[in-house]
Amino acid sequence: MSLGGRKVSWWVSAVAVAIGSYYAFSFVQKASMLVGVGSEYENVNTSSCRKVGQGVLHGCEDIVHWLLPDMEYDLANEVEKDHIYIMDEKDQYSELKAMERTADGALVPFSQDFRVHGFDIYWDPVDPEDMTFMFVNHQLDHNAISIFSHRRGSDYLEHMETVKSPLLHSPNNIVAMSKRAFYATNDMMFIRGALREITNNLGMALSHVVYRDDDGEFRVAAKNIRYANGIARHGEFIYVASCMDPGVQIYTIGDDHMLPTGHVYATGFLRVLEVGKFFHDPTVGLMMPTATIAAIQRRNSIERMLVGCVVCDAVVACDSAH
């Protein structure tokens, strides 16, 4: 009886070791690919690149053509809100002021917390001068989406509504579908505590994309994503970047606005293990130590790319001929 028990125990241990070894190997293999171990990279067509807005457009975490949010996170000593800048093709930039209406109709500075992350713009299909800005806003008491209207040529954004929901627990980026509807990524399931550290370190596929319709109702549109980060739209396709997977997931927009899985430019950390030193000192002798966002504009014979990152003190503009 004792011998049989030892045999069963040995087989259980062997199976446990085999399963553990398989998952350990898979984890190491995926982690090595994720951090770029053994990968080679080269600069391509960077001779025309230059810094724009140094010291002003720093910590830029999202770009839509020429519209840049200025990110500064120092919550303990915060004296200013984040800022929105518009930049023309001559690299001249100016601020768009966030405003709101009082009960008697007066236009005054936006009174809510304004800590911008991702954002997007919806252009009215009938009136091209009418634009709707949607910002992921990490307010102190909750995460939200702040929606503003803007008339092209004016120097301010007028607040329309700030949206919050239990399904917006950790929003990262957003795609505007109408003046009220949008898709947004939630980059993690748990926003604080030990479970956040455990699930993030294990790269568990617990984040998702939510959809808010024109009636203000929320639902999960796509799930089982590893740290859903950036999101973009082109036609009927939605592109979602994952920080924990070296790729971009492509979805088609269903009739119910769900996202069944269905030449992409992507920015990221090419040498992940070196990123920490740039968070400590963003001035380490490079034009741009890393990249987290980019936007491309094609006009006539010139293609321009704008690149920004969370630890940079400027954006980089690169021009090239088609």
Catalytic (active-site) positions: 117
Is 200 labelled a binding residue? no
Is 300 labelled a binding residue? no
Q: Are 58 and 322 in contact, with CB atoms under 8 Å apart?
A: no
Nearest to 136 by CA among 89, 88, 184: 184
Beta bridge partners of 119: 135
Q: Which helix (H) or strand (E) holds 176?
A: strand 171-176
Beta bridge partners of 97: 156
Read off the DSSP letter of residue 34: H
Q: Which helix (H) or strand (E) holds 307?
A: strand 302-308
What is the CA angle 283-286-290, rounded to 5?
Answer: 90
Q: Are 150 and 158 in contact, with CB atoms under 8 Å apart?
A: yes
Q: Are 150 and 133 in contact, with CB atoms under 8 Å apart?
A: yes
287-302 as b/e: b if 16+ CB within 10 A: ebbbbbbbbeeeeeee
Task: Please report, in angstroms and rounded to a whole number, the separation of the first and last CA atoms in the chain.
Answer: 79
Torsion angle defined by CA atoms of residues 44, 50, 55 and 61, in that order, rounded to the nearest 10 degrees: -40
Nearest to 204 by CA among 242, 165, 236, 170: 242
Q: Is 189 helix (H, G, I), strand (E, B) or coil?
A: coil
Distance CA 22, CA 18 (A): 6
Amino acid at 139: Q
What is the CA angle 102-166-192, rounded to 5?
Answer: 105
Is 229 labelled a binding residue? yes
Distance CA 186, CA 118 (A): 11
- Which positions make up the binding site for Ca(2+)? 172-173, 229
Annotated binding site: 172-173, 229
